[in-house]
């Protein structure tokens, strides 16, 4: 269907007649006497006058059409298409990923190949990000300091790309869990209440930063931020030494007690990821705990059509000018 944005513009239709009626007419030039030596010349002059009257009516109709087209363009016609449903999510989801030095420990396996903890996190989290269609996703990277790598956005592809480009140690070798939570609070504080979620992934304990994790968790709870914590790292692995193979616990520094307390204070949940399969399972559980909340909204595509009547009016004005100039040009040619 067609809608008019400024339909009042059509009320200007009688404007030329009003101007002609209100303004005084132009004075007529003095009439000259005409001598007609032959009756045939008189008939020829009468015929030309009759054609001139028809030409004036033709001019009036042509100019009226141009005026109508200009008014149609001024009224801003728009083509309104069929309604299209748009999914809009109510979730603002922030990922906080640990980039401290311990994340380079190779105690995970992907496709039978040993990989470090950060690589496993990228592998699983990127798939999780892709499934969050309709949600706004943000990314925080933290080590000694916490940095906002990607603000909340619907562009999941860019967030996943920034996560894949993250490198161990680029934020420092230590772990500032409290600062990462504080940064997430700052970025989510003004967002829709009840939709603020932080997923924090770490393999150690808080060893840096200006705010303690538990104090940051209290502040998060007061601001309505729900935190899901994930402790990443295997319970044991074999390592060669001078005395042969030894079983060690690569996650000895993981502070599970603090991570559990953070989740409990904010109404979230703590997860333990000892291998890639458990990490994938955790993200599937998070899909169920934080489902994509869709609210139907409709959008009607619009296309402006003003350029059609405007272009046609300019084309008719050009033809009219050429029509008026043609007799004069022909007369000048015959005169020469």
DSSP string across 138-168: EEEEESSSEEEEEEEES-HHHHHHHHHH--T
The confidence score (pLDDT) of residue 182 equals 94
How does pLDDT run across 198-232, given as a tens digit for each residue?
Answer: 999 998 888 888 899 999 999 999 998 999 999 98
The confidence score (pLDDT) of residue 42 equals 46
Share of the chain above pLDDT 70, in %: 76
Both 176 and 261 in one domain: the answer is: yes
147-152 own/partner pairs: CB under 8 Å, 24+ apart? 147/171, 147/183, 148/183, 148/187, 151/187, 152/92, 152/94, 152/187, 152/188, 152/191
Backbone angles phi, psi at 295, to 5 degrees: -115, 125
CATH number at residue 231: 3.40.50.410
Looking at per-residue pLDDT, the higher value among 37 and 11 belongs to: 11
d(CA 272, CA 282): 8
Q: For the full predicted model, state whether its pTM sits above 0.75.
A: no
Look at residue 8 and give its three-state secondary structure. helix
The confidence score (pLDDT) of residue 238 equals 55
d(CA 136, CA 151): 9
How far CA 8 is from CA of 12, 128, 243, 330, in Å, comes to 8, 53, 93, 43
The confidence score (pLDDT) of residue 213 equals 93
Both 322 and 177 in one domain: the answer is: no
Both 102 and 239 in one domain: the answer is: yes
Contact by Cβ (8 Å): 107, 250 = yes
Contact by Cβ (8 Å): 250, 233 = yes
Q: Is residue 72 over pLDDT 80?
A: yes
Contact by Cβ (8 Å): 230, 269 = no
d(CA 210, CA 212): 7
Looking at per-residue pLDDT, the higher value among 292 and 119 belongs to: 119
Both 190 and 306 in one domain: the answer is: no
Highest mean predicted confidence (pLDDT) among 51-60, 98-107, 178-187: 178-187
In a domain, 32, yes or no: no
The confidence score (pLDDT) of residue 331 equals 59
Range of the domain at 266: 88-297
Both 93 and 178 in one domain: the answer is: yes
Q: For the residues 63-87, what does the mean pLDDT come to?
A: 81
Both 152 and 253 in one domain: the answer is: yes
In a domain, 97, yes or no: yes
> Where do runs of H (alpha helix) occur along the chain?
15-22, 39-74, 117-131, 156-165, 177-188, 213-222, 256-266, 276-289, 307-335
In a domain, 242, yes or no: yes
How does pLDDT run across 231-287, given as a tens digit for each residue?
Answer: 988 876 656 655 555 565 566 788 889 999 999 999 999 998 887 888 888 888 887
Q: For the residues 95-117, what does the mean pLDDT come to?
A: 88
Rounded CA Rg of the chain:
39
């Amino acid at each position: 269907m067609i809608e008019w944005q400024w339909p009042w513009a059509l009320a200007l239709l009688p404007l030329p007649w009003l101007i002609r009626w209100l303004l005084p007419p132009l004075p007529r030039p003095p009439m000259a006497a005409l001598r007609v030596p032959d009756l045939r010349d008189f008939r020829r002059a009468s015929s030309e006058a009759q054609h001139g009257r028809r030409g004036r009516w033709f001019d009036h109709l042509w100019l009226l059409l141009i005026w109508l087209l200009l008014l149609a363009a001024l009224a801003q016609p728009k083509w309104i298409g069929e309604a299209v449903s748009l999914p809009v999510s109510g979730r603002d989801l922030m990922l906080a990923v640990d980039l401290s030095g311990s994340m380079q420990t190779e105690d995970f396996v992907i496709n039978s190949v040993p990989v470090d903890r950060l690589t496993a996190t990228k592998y699983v989290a990127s798939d999780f990000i892709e499934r969050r269609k309709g949600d706004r996703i943000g990314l925080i990277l933290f080590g000694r300091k916490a940095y906002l790598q990607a603000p909340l956005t619907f562009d999941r592809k860019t967030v996943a790309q920034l996560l894949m480009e993250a490198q161990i140690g680029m934020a420092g070798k230590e772990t500032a869990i409290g600062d990462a939570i504080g940064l997430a609070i700052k970025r989510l504080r003004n967002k829709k209440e009840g939709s603020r979620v932080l997923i924090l992934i770490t393999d150690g304990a808080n060893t840096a930063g200006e705010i303690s994790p538990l104090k940051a968790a209290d502040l998060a709870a007061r601001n309505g931020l729900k935190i899901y914590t994930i402790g990443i790292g295997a319970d044991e692995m074999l390592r060669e030494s001078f005395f042969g193979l030894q079983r060690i616990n690569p996650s000895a520094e993981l502070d599970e007690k603090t991570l559990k307390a953070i989740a409990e204070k904010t109404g979230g949940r703590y997860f333990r990821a000892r291998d890639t399969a458990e990490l994938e399972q955790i993200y599937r559980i998070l899909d169920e705990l934080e489902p994509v909340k869709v609210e139907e909204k409709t959008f009607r595509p619009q296309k402006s059509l003003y350029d059609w009547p405007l272009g046609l009016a300019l084309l008719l004005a050009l033809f009219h000018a050429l029509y008026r100039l043609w007799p004069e040009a022909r007369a000048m040619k015959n005169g020469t």
